Amino acid sequence: MKAILITILICLVIPKVSFSDDIIENSNAFEPKQLMPEFIQKIPVLIEVPIDEKTQIQGTGFFLTKNQKVYFLTAKHVLEDSKYPLGASTIILTAYSTQKGFLNQIHWRLDYKKLKQNNLVLFNKEDKDVVAIEVARGTPPKLNDGILSDQKNGDLVSSVPDNVIKMYKDVLISNDVYLLGYPTSLGLIKNPSLDLTRPLLRKGIVAGLNDSSKTIILDCFAFGGNSGGPVFQVEHTPNMIPDYPKFYLIGLVTQYVPYVDPYKSLQNDLEMMIFAENSGYSIVEPMDSIYEMLP
């Protein structure tokens, strides 16, 4: 099998709302000129959180399998936005099956309040911007109470196993990274140029590490809707021909770094307003912050 550590993914199957922890070896997953296999591109999951009839929060997340449990991970502010004190009641998730092509969508409906009451929603003790929802457990895994899905028997959904994850200490400054997600804030409603029902990839590099906050800084644009999206670090094996890259999950994106541009009055030189623009840098919570939550 070619040296691609991320090519072993645990896939979720829900025949009559149950999961399977079968392992698929994708040794032939590469298409001729495609750097990243399609099944990795399908890891991000679209999140829709209806607040009221006119308001809906959108973001990105992904499934992760650890210790025979399946978790859904995203940024905390996607589900617990301080602007909406009542919080999320229902969460709708949409992902693509691992069947070839972006044709078959699968949906989940989560009763968020019920899952919280059952202690299946996990937060970081240091109040990091991450949240985990235990969606299934057992062998084979079965959906927890409060979760419904239209996934049909035989449909597979990519879930990241914990053997392809790297922690903060293993993040390499200057290495290429890929941010995967649903930047639903982009484009014009009346003249859409993007298919926002499909995940988009954004390439950047690890620009630096913030040791005081234990966060990762990317030179990579992130936009509204990207929050919670998985970030993969790319590594190459020296002297290996062909040079198949390895993709490691290093964390999830939580925000972009704003560039502050103050506007001053010409009459009195006082600041009248401040514009905060996207600097092109973004912040990633490392997998350490996520693993601190998981039993």
Segment 162-221, tens digit of pLDDT = 889 999 999 999 999 999 999 988 876 666 778 888 999 999 999 999 999 999 999 999
Residue 158 sits in a domain whose CATH number is: 2.40.10.10
Indicate whether 236 and 276 sit together in one domain: yes
Q: Is the pLDDT of residue 46 over 50?
A: yes
- Is residue 18 pLDDT above 60, yes or no? no
Closest by CA to 134, choosing from 125, 144, 142, is: 144
Whether residues 92 and 199 share a domain: the answer is no
If one compares 25 and 146, the residue with the highest pLDDT of the two is 146
Residue 80 has pLDDT above 60, yes or no: yes
The pLDDT value given to residue 266: 63
* Residue with the larger pLDDT of the pair 234 and 83: 234
Q: Is residue 60 part of a domain?
A: yes
Return d(Cα 122, Cα 167) in angstroms, integer: 19
* Closest by CA position to 64, among listed 274, 249, 261: 249
pLDDT for 196 equals 81
Instruction: Give the torsion through C-alpha atoms of 137, 140, 142, 148, to 10 deg.
Output: 130
Give yes or no for residue 7 having a pLDDT over 50.
Answer: no
Q: Which H or E run contains 40?
A: helix 38-41
Our count of domains for the chain comes to 2
First to last CA, the chain: 32
Contact (Cβ atoms closer than 8 angstroms) between residue 222 and residue 202? yes
C-alpha closest to that of 254 among 215, 221, 216, 285: 285
Judged against a pLDDT cut of 60, whether residue 100 lies above it is answered with: yes
Quote the CA–CA distance of 192 and 81 in Å, as a whole number.
27
Residue 216, domain extent: 168-287
Q: Are residues 18 and 147 in the same domain?
A: yes
Q: How far is CA 241 from CA 2, 24, 36, in A?
A: 11, 24, 17
pLDDT given at position 4: 41
**pLDDT score for 25:** 39
Q: Compute the distance between CA of residue 83 and CA of residue 85 in angstroms, rounded to an integer.
A: 6
Of the candidates 199, 167, 208, 196, the residue with the CA atom closest to the CA atom of residue 181: 199
pTM of the model: 0.84
The answer to whether 232 and 177 are in contact (CB under 8 A) is yes
Q: What is the pLDDT of residue 140?
A: 78
Which of 81-85, 112-116, 193-197 shows the lowest per-residue confidence on average (mean pLDDT)? 81-85
